[in-house]
Every structure is written in C-alpha cells, then in structure tokens.
Amino acid sequence: MKGKTKRDSAETPFMSVAEAAQLAGVSPRTIIRMCVDEQLPAVKMRRVWRINRAKFAEMLGIDVPQAVA
C-alpha cells in the first residue's frame, strides 16, 4: 500500500502538540502558545508544530522513549 504510514511515536525525535499537551497536562492551545512564544524547543513544519521530544521531557523532568538511531 502506497502512502504515508504512521510511525510509533518513540521512533521520531519530535512529538505532536497533542502528545506534548497530554504529557504536560495542559491544553493543546497552551502548547501552541508556548511554541509561538519560544518557550518550548519546537519547530514549525508547514502549519504543524513539532516539539523536540528529549528537550521537552527534560523540561518536565520525565522519561520519554527516544528515537532509535
């Protein structure tokens, strides 16, 4: 089957806004606001924000599975 396939979230060094919001216990809008204000280690890819998994976990003081090199 051609097309995009979903990767396991631990396979990528970035996480979605929804995943970050769930981990932090805040709304996705709060995460987006923090990305815009450069309070989070994030990049905008087209219209979608991606948060650096390792740095975000470090900020929260939690363990999040890392991408396999």
pLDDT, one tens digit per residue, over 5-18 is 555 555 789 999 99
Average pLDDT of the chain to the nearest whole number? 84
Residue 60, pLDDT above cutoff 60: yes
Higher local confidence (pLDDT), 19 or 61: 19
Residue corresponding to tokens 């089957």? 1
Give dist(CA 15, CA 32) in Å, integer. 13
pLDDT tens track for 16-39: 999 999 999 999 999 999 999 999
Q: What's residue 36's pLDDT?
A: 96
d(CA 39, CA 8): 26
Using CA atoms, how far residue 65 sits from 10, 24, 37, 57, in Å, is 5, 15, 26, 9
Residue 6's pLDDT is what? 56
Block residue for tokens 């805040």: 26
